Amino acid sequence: MADSNRVIDLRTRSTYTPDCATLARNRLALARQSLGLTTAEFADILTPMVGWPVTADAVEAWESSLVPPGDVVVAASAVTPTSSGRAGVRSHKFIAAYIGAEAATKLGAGAEPVSGWLKRTTIAAEHPSGACELHLLPFGVAIYHLVEDLEVATIASLAVWRYRSYRENLAWATTNLRQLTGDANITASYVLSAYWLHTPIWAGRMLDTAVRIISSPRVLVDRGQECSDTVLATAEQAERELLAEGFAPREMQAFGVDGVATGYSSWSGVAYHPLDPARSLSEDELVECELSIQSMWAYCEYLNHQVEQGHAPVASPGYGWRFLRAARSRLANPRPQETGQHCAMRDAILHTSGLLGHLDQAIEALREDSQ
């Protein structure tokens, strides 16, 4: 171990001058080598990031003799975070199932305490990987809310973890609900994720792109390769390309505010990063919004599945088409004291989820059946 009494602070040495040019060249070379890219491939990644054409010859010169421009060094560092650079993300998974109104009531739905306009009842649940609660709705929906704190070096690793853990989450929720209700036919139907990015490793335009990718990680993972050994490497390559080139699918909706927060919603999920926590949405607001929307989504899925099977839809008592019409109004229309940010979030999540179409179909089917 070094003797701390013999350590010399270089700032006290007036004759010490760091070789910044060599440091910059080495940083560029190490960045390219860590990515396993040729000079031409690295130039292709740098070009859209710096906004002017970068050539393979230029990269080679910067690594050997010339001093690389500052924007090139920053761009190279951005696409290759150091081994200690890990993003802090809190994953919120909403695991939904329809268990029936009778089963939900037996488990506590409708009893005090209740939460929100949907009269949601919450009971504690134990999960091996994070904090978990079971939310019960009186019309027969059960939603597990699983919170997992993660540190990831790449978005690709988050995407791979997400899809591999989904199968485990669905199996776990199905087993638990069957044990609680005694009904062997209950099956958890889907998992929806929302990510709260509290510690990013990106900045500027790249941070915005990163939040977009996190909200739609399917773009990194080929469904047919989810279980292969090469899936992570393939996903990391796709991530590097998208971070460099940008990622802005038309179906994705933004709900951030410049200088306050970055937020995006897609069919796959939601991602949010508070730039200014004092002015941004709170994590609880995001969770509450998702719980309301996913509760109705799961109920409409159950009703519309009956229609698709050629049956007359059977709604839970007291939760027929009039209830769905009221729910649609509450979800689609802004509240008098709702903030602009909250309204934008609700609109973005509501429209990318496809819930409005689900609601309209369920309302129409139940009205036709009641006539």
Specify the pTM.
Answer: 0.78
Query: Across residues 278-300, what is the average pLDDT?
Result: 96
Q: Which residues, in sequence order, are bridge partners of residue 151? A: 88
Query: Across residues 47-65, what is the average pLDDT?
Result: 91
Q: Which residues, in sequence order, are bridge partners of residue 97? A: 142
What is d(CA 292, CA 288) in angstroms, rounded to the nearest whole number? 6
Q: What is the per-residue pLDDT for 285?
A: 96
Confidence of residue 251 (pLDDT cuts 50, 70, 90): very high
DSSP string covering 179-238, please? Answer: HHH--TT----EEEEEEEEEE-S--HHHHHHHHHHHH-GGGTS-GGGTTSTTHHHHHHHH
Confidence of residue 36 (pLDDT cuts 50, 70, 90): confident
Two structure tokens written together for 27: 């940083």
pLDDT tens-digit series, residues 145-158: 999 999 998 999 99
CA of residue 55 relative to chain centroid, distance? 35
Amino acid letter at 304?
N
The burial class, CB within 10 Å (0-12 / 13-18 / 19+), for 257 is middle
Has residue 90 got a pLDDT over 60?
A: yes
* SS3 labels along 229-271: CCHHHHHHHHHHHHHHHCCCCCCCEECCECCCEEEEECCCEEE
* Alpha-carbon dihedral 269, 274, 277, 281, rounded to 10 degrees: -40
What is d(CA 149, CA 167) in angstroms, rounded to the nearest whole number? 19
Confidence of residue 92 (pLDDT cuts 50, 70, 90): very high
What the chain holds in terms of domains, given with CATH numbers, is 16-79 (1.10.260), 87-370 (no CATH)
Tell me the longest C-alpha to C-alpha distance in the chain: 92
Amino acid letter at 142?
A
Closest CA to 313 of 357, 371, 355, 370: 370
CA 304, 305, 308, 311 torsion-angle sign: negative
Confidence of residue 2 (pLDDT cuts 50, 70, 90): very low
Q: What angle do CA 137, 195, 285 make, to 5 degrees?
A: 50
Cβ atoms within 10 A of the Cβ of 71, count? 13
